[in-house]
């Protein structure tokens, strides 16, 4: 199993010069780690190393494509290197908890391909680690840590109104709500001190 340091090495190996997405991955890992470290004892167990590894590599598919298939591209890249477990984050940050029926209803994807994607999720059940990663990804705009509202306002500005984007916003909020239930207070309160934190190339 990859360690977070292994993940950083892989990220560096597949990062074209000047690209922002590797910095985005580092910021998502920072957010995910911050939230995971504050989980109450009553929460289901989460492997922080596994979470950090998936967070650091969740967008590695952007080394191949920046299109809507980057999640699948990242998963297949890591699977080819023998790290399908680390590649789970490539899929879950993109799916965000959507069901097969959700994907089929978009009309964008073939049913057989959708089945392949979900068959690649092991375990098939959505986990707290998946929630943490998806939420963290929804809190980083480019390379800056922001609120959910600011992140989704930017996404709608960039990509326009669509059923896909609306559903992504709904699912991000549902993940925030689930985490807030665990904490018994607004999970975004944990991140307010980090809002505005940004990474830039040296």
The gap between the terminal CA atoms of the chain, to the nearest Å, is 31
Alpha-carbon span 50 to 2, nearest angstrom: 8
pLDDT in tens, 148-184: 999 999 999 988 888 888 999 999 999 999 999 999 9
Binned at pLDDT 50, 70 and 90, residue 90 comes out as very high
Provide the pLDDT for residue 68.
Answer: 80
CA angle 42, 40, 167 (to 5 degrees): 95
CA distance 97 to 76: 19
Q: What is the pLDDT of residue 66?
A: 84
Using the Cα atoms of residue 176, residue 39, residue 58 and residue 199 in order, give the sign of their dihedral. Answer: positive
For 111-158, how does the pLDDT look when each residue is reduced to its tens digit (9 = 90+)? 999 999 999 999 999 999 999 999 999 999 999 999 999 999 999 998
- Judged against a pLDDT cut of 90, whether residue 74 lies above it is answered with yes
DSSP assigned state of 3: -
What does the domain layout of the chain look like in residue ranges? 4-13+23-32+47-194
Please state, as a whole number, how many other Cβ atoms lie within 10 Å of the Cβ of residue 20. 14
Q: What is the pLDDT of residue 159?
A: 83
Residue 42's alpha-carbon distances to 64, 100, 174, in angstroms, are 40, 31, 20
CB atoms within 10 A of CB 96: 24
- The 3-state DSSP class for residue 75 equals helix
pLDDT digits over 17-32, tens only? 899 999 999 999 999 9
Q: If you average pLDDT over each of 72-76, 103-107, 162-166, which comes out highest?
A: 72-76
Q: Please give the pLDDT value at position 11.
A: 97
Q: Please, are residues 44 and 196 in contact by the beta-carbon 8 Å criterion?
A: no
pLDDT, one tens digit per residue, over 39-72 is: 999 999 999 999 999 999 999 999 998 888 899 9
DSSP string, 164-192: HHHHHHHHHHHHHHHHHHHHTS-THHHHG
Is residue 180 within 8 Å of residue 187, measured between CB atoms? yes
Report how far residue 110's alpha carbon sits from residue 165's, in angstroms, rounded to the nearest whole number. Answer: 20
Model pTM? 0.96
In this prediction, residue 202 carries a pLDDT of 60
């Amino acid at each position: 199993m990859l360690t977070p340091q292994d993940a950083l090495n892989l990220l560096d190996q597949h990062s074209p010069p000047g690209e922002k997405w590797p910095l985005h991955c580092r910021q998502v890992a920072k957010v995910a780690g911050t939230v995971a470290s504050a989980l109450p004892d009553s929460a289901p167990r989460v492997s922080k190393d596994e979470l950090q590894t998936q967070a650091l590599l969740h967008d590695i598919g952007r080394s191949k494509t920046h299109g809507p298939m980057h999640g699948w591209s990242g998963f297949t890249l890591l699977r080819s290197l023998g790290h399908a477990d680390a590649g789970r984050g490539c899929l879950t940050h993109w799916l965000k908890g959507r069901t097969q029926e959700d994907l089929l209803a978009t009309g964008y994807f073939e049913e057989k391909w959708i089945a392949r994607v979900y068959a690649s999720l092991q375990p098939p059940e959505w986990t707290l680690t998946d929630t943490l990663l998806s939420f963290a990804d929804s809190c980083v705009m480019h390379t800056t840590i922001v609120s959910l509202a600011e992140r989704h306002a930017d996404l709608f500005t960039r990509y326009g109104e669509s059923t896909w984007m609306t559903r992504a916003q709904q699912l991000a909020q549902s993940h925030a709500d689930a985490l807030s239930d665990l904490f018994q207070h607004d999970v975004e309160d944990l991140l307010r001190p980090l809002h505005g934190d940004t990474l830039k190339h040296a």
